[in-house]
Structure 1
Amino acid sequence: MWGVDPVSLRLFVAVCEEGAIARASEREFIAPSAVSKRIADIEATFGVQLLLRSKHGVVPTPAGQALLRHARQLMRDMERLQGELSEYAEGGRGHVRILANVSSIMEFLPEELSEFLLANEHIQVDIEERFSPDVVRGVAEGNADLGICRKSMASGDLEFIPYRQDHLAVLVNDKHPLAGRTRIAFAETLDFEHVGLSVYATLNAFMQRTAAQNGRELRFRSHVSTFEAAYRLVQLGLGLGVFPQEAVSRYAGLFGLHVIPLVDDWALGEFVICVRDAEALSLSARRLLNHLLARMPPVGEVP
């Protein structure tokens, strides 16, 4: 007979995601002993071991992995039910989780979400930055309602909805030989050293392959982890950068930098929104999805 309550399921999911009972107890604001008791009760109910415990933490057993999959689905269903009822009862309360790649967060997502949150004060939106492959994996595993990633990552059983575009550009300081250009081909940048941004590791590798295919070499002077560091190195003349125009245009002027659009066909990038099932989204998640899609600029337009 089924005797596991939703609270116990939520705590089990938290333990699996955190990899430790102590961290799960902090996340859920409950004593570790109470978490352990809840999980022990589930194991007793089913007569199976759900967690492998060690000094390094816990991992689910095969039986635990099966329960985790179903528990996540049950929690999503319960959250959707609660969300839909509260939509009618309280005028739009809900909780939406988003996984998004760094480009979308740098280029447009904060502005889109600020408008949404101002118009929907009872809906909470949590955003977590992930690399595009991890966005797809996280949504597929039920860790988020919506994901925003590169179109090149669109594979598997998820729904992928065309969303936005961005455009690569070259970033140089005002003393650089290319500073007077208004458009440029990637091949022309290979005469100069580059500054790479580590969050664009996939792009960096692609550009190196593209250069090699044309019998040239892409020389990186440095790799940095933040846009601010990249701006400073380019400003000081230590190299040029190739980044999404939408991410750098608003700040380039603050550092006295010039943004030169690339003319290569591959310089156009595309984003998609990924969901498990758009029709099964909670009302609050569906409302956010509709908001994002309604704010899409015309194809080919640079915001």
Structure 2
Amino acid sequence: MRYDLVDLKLFLAVAEERNLTRGAEKAHLAPSSASHRIRQLEDALGTPLLTRQARGVALTRAGESLLRHAREVFAQLEQMHADLAPYAQGIRGHVSLWANTHATHTFLPMDLAGFLRDHPQVSVTLEEHTSPHIALAVAGGEVEVGVVAGHVESSGVELLPYRQDRLVLVVPAGHPLEARRDEPAGLGFGVVLDYPFVMLHAGSAIHTFTMNAAAAQGRHLNVRIQVRSFGAVLRMVGAGVGIGLVPRSALVFADRERPPTVLELSEPWARRDLQICVRNRASLSGFAVALVDALAKSAEA
């Protein structure tokens, strides 16, 4: 197959405009040249991409498929440019960091801001994953540094203390569970599963963790609404939408006018000791060592 990015860019413009002339103008080509390139692209792919109509063009099934892939191609190219741009600006090092939802939404933003301010020549890629996945990725050399919560069963990694926190239950004012806020031992997770939950979005590490915790009790969560941050969870709970499970450190994001009621959980997994996870500190790049040291130092402070 012989075609290039100019052909794909032209096809994308024509497909989005649903008009050959306007698409050619958008791609800075003459209509005759654009029509010739589209025919060559169809010949190269061996199938019609457009159906010519009186007032424009329509996509064939093959054309719809190519449009989807072309958008993905150009999105990947933009990401490539974004990844390479820092090196042209003097960036000399890069560290990959995976962390669970808890760390990503609470402690890491401030800690990474301090690290990047002190190390302007370094860039960091942060991805959110579950703790077991992070430990396996670090052990396999897929990622240099991780931040995990609780006990992770993975050989071949070193764990360093990072932060201490707890997951707590938050309920709206006047909720039936509010009367049990002073129970010394805290609430068992099974007690709260009859009530609708406000959850972080599906795919977030804490969403997966909470679903698994309910499944371990042979139950399913009643998810009323899914949101994108702990702050949104707290505001939804304060507004009476449902109950939620958040780190104690996230309570600073609660709406002061309608703060939720905080209840302790008796479950052992409620304690969320965050740990820095590396495969072998001695084998880390210098920039990764600097990041590990900065995270450990911020925890001490």
Q: TM-score, normalised by structure 1?
A: 0.58
Pair 1:269-2:272 in alignment? yes
Matched, 1:120 2:127: no
Structure 1 residue 279, shift from structure 2 partner: 0.8
Once residues 137 and 125 of structure 2 are traced to their aligned partners in structure 1, the CA distance between those partners, rounded to angstroms, is: 14
**Equivalent in the alignment of 1:220:** 222
Q: Report how far residue 22 of structure 1 moved.
A: 8.0
Check conservation: 2:145, 2:276, Cα contact below 8 A.
yes
Greater shift, 167-176 or 255-264, is seen at 255-264
Partner of 2:212: 205
Q: In 2, Cα distance between the equivalents of 1:231 and 1:141?
A: 36
Alpha-carbon deviation of 1:280? Answer: 1.5
Identity across matched positions, percent = 29
User: 2:103: which partner in 1?
Assistant: 104
Distance 2:100 2:173 in 1: 30
SS at match of 1:142: coil
| Contact kept in structure 2, 1:163 and 1:293, CA below 8 Å | yes
Aligned residue among 276, 286, 295 for 2:289: 286
Mean Cα displacement is larger for which, 256-265 or 98-107?
256-265
Aligned pair 1:250/2:257, yes or no? no
Question: Quick one: which amino acid aligns to residue 268 of structure 1?
Answer: R
- Aligned pair count reads 212
Displacement of 1:25 after TM fit?
6.2
Work out whether 1:240 is the aligned partner of 2:243: yes
What is the distance in 2 between the residues matched to 1:21 and 1:265?
46
Q: Partners in 2 of 1:143 and 1:136 — Cα distance?
A: 10
For the 8 Å contact 1:168–1:262, the answer to whether it is kept is yes
Q: Is the 8 A contact 1:196 1:204 kept in 2?
A: no
Report if the CA contact (8 A) 1:163-1:272 is conserved: yes
* Pairing 1:191-202 to 2, within 5 Å after superposition: 192-197=195-200, 198=202, 199=204, 200-202=207-209
User: Could you say if the C-alpha distance between residues 234 and 146 of structure 1 is closer, same or farther in structure 2, counting changes exceeding 3 Å?
Assistant: same
1:267 is displaced (CA, Å) by: 1.6
Q: What does residue 8 of structure 1 align with?
A: none
TM-score scaled to structure 2, two decimals?
0.59
- Rounded Cα–Cα distance in structure 1 between residues aligned with 2:192 and 2:133: 31
In the TM superposition, residue 103 of structure 1 has moved relative to its aligned partner by 1.2
Give the whole-Å Cα distance in 1 for the aligned partners of 2:221 and 2:287: 47
- Letter in structure 2 aligned against 1:220: N
Q: Secondary structure in 2 aligned to 1:144?
A: coil
Query: Within 2, Cα distance between the matches of 1:223 and 1:145?
Result: 35
Structure 1: any 5+ residue segments left out of the alignment? 1-19, 30-89, 299-303
Q: Which residue of 1 aligns with 2:134?
A: 135
SS of structure 2 residue aligned to 1:170: strand
Structure 1 vs Structure 2 CA RMSD: 3.2
Query: In the alignment, which residue of structure 1 is the partner of 2:49?
Result: none
Q: What's the offset of the Cα at 1:277? A: 1.5
Relative distance call for 1:162 and 1:154 in structure 2 (3 A) is farther
> Which protein has the larger Cα radius of gyration, Structure 1 or Structure 2?
2
Give 3-state SS (helix, strand or coil) of 2:274's partner.
strand
Cα distance between partner residues in 1 of 2:194 and 2:96 = 44
